């Protein structure tokens, strides 16, 4: 009998989780959201029998095997606590929780419940990230010494005020951008973050208070016209919109001084001249991957060669990932996160069912990542991370 799943949240992540869990072999029996019209529309589009605006009651009535949490970070704790009380396995989007203390409490509760968990910071499943990982493992650039992640998003100050602007709600670029990059870095470097230092900056200060769209895909396109913004009340922004993070990534328990040095640089209001990129520097060469989350082409340079050369994508990498079911209402770019959600769900469901699976990020990693974020926000200089 197929595992039964319930999804809480009917935005882009909720849709993605629903499709991913179904493709992995689970039966999605319900989806819940606070907005009746939206959840009914999504349930009808995806063929989900129950569209609920009362996730607590639906959870109690249906008692699913899996609960997928696809809501903003401030609501995760109460959903996770309720799901654990019924012994459900958890598939949770990032950030796991708004603070490391809450993430640590929740992870201990997951351990005590003895359930499986998946943490959906999923950009480590990008084909180009997997190709870079394979090249490094094959010795293409010699001993890996450094990793570098640079991005500049041209988001406008007049985007509608909402959860991305408030730390208490799980907002901020560390929670919602850096988490994906850290997942790539730890996966490619085959280690965990041992020590970290950094700083953040709030470049925004205020944003216009207008109706906030239900779906995050709409928010990034929802620039408030200048005249409307001038007449609106403005909310105070306390979340980070720029960050610089230095990290040491290596085998758990190893000496940070011998680990890979990783640099993460991001800002969110001003367009950069140079395309966003990820790079890995070894003793004898460099791998350069286009775009912020390794979505683009891979290039390789090695000692003795005049310049970088494009590395063709390998069929073996693509074959290792599940297919993406086209969704007519999704922009083409959303095939990228969809494939990653599908891959995580495949490994997670296989683990629950006792079948062979690849390693995947769990809520233990979600807790560790929140410890990294809190250390950066504290600006306490170099800080060792808990094992």
pLDDT tens-digit map of 296-317: 999 999 999 999 999 999 999 9
What does the pLDDT read at residue 252? Answer: 94
Asked if the model's pLDDT at residue 222 lies above 90, the reply is no
Binning pLDDT at 50, 70 and 90, where does residue 254 land? very high
Asked if the model's pLDDT at residue 284 lies above 80, the reply is yes
What does the pLDDT read at residue 238? Answer: 96
- Is 164 within a domain? yes
Please tell me the distance from the alpha carbon of residue 62 to that of residue 92, in angstroms, as a whole number: 19
What does the pLDDT read at residue 331? Answer: 72
Residue with tokens 């959903």: 79
What does the pLDDT read at residue 386? Answer: 86
CB atoms within 10 A of CB 89: 24
Asked if the model's pLDDT at residue 332 lies above 90, the reply is no
What does the pLDDT read at residue 329? Answer: 74
User: Comparing 357 with 326, which gets the higher pLDDT?
Assistant: 357
What does the pLDDT read at residue 135? Answer: 98
**% of the chain beyond a pLDDT of 70:** 100
Backbone φ and ψ of 380, nearest 5°: -95, 15
User: Comparing 329 with 265, which gets the higher pLDDT?
Assistant: 265
∠ CA 330-165-369, nearest 5°, is 80
What does the pLDDT read at residue 251? Answer: 95
Asked if the model's pLDDT at residue 382 lies above 80, the reply is yes
The half-sphere exposure of 54 on its side-chain side, counting CA atoms within 13 A, is 5
- Is 385 within a domain? no
∠ CA 310-316-318, nearest 5°, is 80
Asked if the model's pLDDT at residue 387 lies above 80, the reply is no
Which stretch of 207-216, 228-237, 272-281 has the lowest confidence by average pLDDT?
207-216
Write the pLDDT tens digit of every residue in 115-166.
999 999 999 999 999 999 999 999 999 999 999 999 999 999 999 999 999 9
**The domain spanning residue 252 has which CATH number?**
3.30.360.10
Please tell me the distance from the alpha carbon of residue 80 to that of residue 66, in angstroms, as a whole number: 11
**Residue of 54, 65, 55, 81 lying closest to 28 (CA atoms):** 65
What does the pLDDT read at residue 367? Answer: 97
Binning pLDDT at 50, 70 and 90, where does residue 326 land? confident
Tokens representing 152? Answer: 């500049």
- Is 335 within a domain? no
Please name the residues in contact with 12: beta carbons below 8 A apart, sequence gap of 6 or more.
Answer: 215, 216, 217, 334, 337
- Is 61 within a domain? no
The mean pLDDT of 333-355, rounded to a whole number, is 92
> Crossing angle, helix 76-85 and helix 55-62, to 10 degrees?
20
- Is 53 within a domain? no
- Is 351 within a domain? no
Asked if the model's pLDDT at residue 96 lies above 80, the reply is yes
Whole-number Cα distances in Å, 386 to 194, 247, 258, 364, 371: 8, 14, 18, 11, 8
Asked if the model's pLDDT at residue 17 lies above 80, the reply is yes
What does the pLDDT read at residue 327? Answer: 76
Please tell me the distance from the alpha carbon of residue 248 to that of residue 269, in angstroms, as a whole number: 28
Binning pLDDT at 50, 70 and 90, where does residue 42 land? very high
Residue-number span of the structural domain to which 309 is assigned: 124-322
The half-sphere exposure of 136 on its side-chain side, counting CA atoms within 13 A, is 26
Please tell me the distance from the alpha carbon of residue 283 to that of residue 19, in angstroms, as a whole number: 42
What does the pLDDT read at residue 336? Answer: 78
The mean pLDDT of 168-182, rounded to a whole number, is 96
Backbone φ and ψ of 219, nearest 5°: -65, -45
Could you give the number of structural domains in the chain?
A: 1
Q: Is the peptide bond before 95 cis (omega within 30 degrees of 0)?
A: yes
Please tell me the distance from the alpha carbon of residue 374 to that of residue 362, in angstroms, as a whole number: 19
What does the pLDDT read at residue 360? Answer: 97
């Amino acid at each position: 009998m197929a595992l039964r799943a319930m999804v809480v949240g009917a935005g882009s992540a909720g849709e993605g989780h629903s499709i991913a869990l179904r493709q992995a072999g689970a039966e999605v029996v319900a989806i819940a959201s606070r907005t009746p019209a939206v959840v009914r529309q999504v349930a009808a589009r995806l063929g989900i029998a129950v569209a609920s605006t009362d996730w607590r009651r639906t959870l109690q009535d249906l008692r699913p095997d899996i609960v997928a949490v696809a809501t903003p970070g401030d609501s995760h704790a109460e959903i996770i606590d309720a799901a654990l009380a019924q012994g459900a396995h958890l598939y949770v989007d990032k950030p796991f929780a708004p603070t490391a203390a809450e993430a640590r409490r929740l992870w201990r509760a997951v351990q005590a419940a003895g359930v499986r968990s998946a943490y959906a910071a999923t950009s480590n499943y990008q084909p180009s990230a997997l190709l870079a990982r394979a090249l490094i493992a094959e010795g293409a650039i010699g001993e890996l010494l450094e990793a570098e992640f640079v991005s500049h998003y041209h988001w406008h100050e007049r985007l509608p005020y909402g959860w991305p602007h408030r730390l208490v709600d799980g907002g901020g670029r560390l929670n919602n951008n850096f988490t994906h990059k850290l997942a790539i870095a730890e996966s490619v470097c085959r280690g965990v973050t041992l020590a970290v230092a950094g700083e953040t900056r709030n470049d925004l200060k205020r944003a216009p208070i207008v109706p906030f769209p239900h779906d995050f895909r709409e928010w990034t396109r929802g620039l408030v016209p200048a005249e409307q913004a001038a007449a609106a009340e403005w909310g105070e922004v306390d979340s980070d919109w720029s960050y610089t993070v230095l990290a040491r990534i290596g085998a758990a328990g190893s000496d940070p001084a011998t680990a890979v040095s990783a640099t993460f640089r991001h800002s969110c209001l001003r367009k950069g001249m140079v395309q966003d990129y990820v790079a890995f520097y070894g003793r004898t060469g460099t791998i350069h991957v286009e775009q912020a989350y390794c979505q683009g082409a891979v290039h390789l340079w090695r000692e003795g060669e005049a310049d970088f050369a494009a590395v063709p994508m390998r069929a073996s990498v693509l074959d290792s990932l599940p297919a993406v079911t086209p969704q007519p209402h999704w922009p083409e770019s959303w095939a990228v996160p969809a494939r990653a959600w599908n891959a995580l769900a495949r490994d997670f469901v296989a683990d629950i069912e006792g079948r062979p699976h690849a390693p995947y990020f769990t809520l233990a990693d979600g807790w560790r990542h929140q410890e990294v974020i809190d250390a950066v926000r504290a600006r306490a200089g170099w800080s060792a991370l808990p094992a």
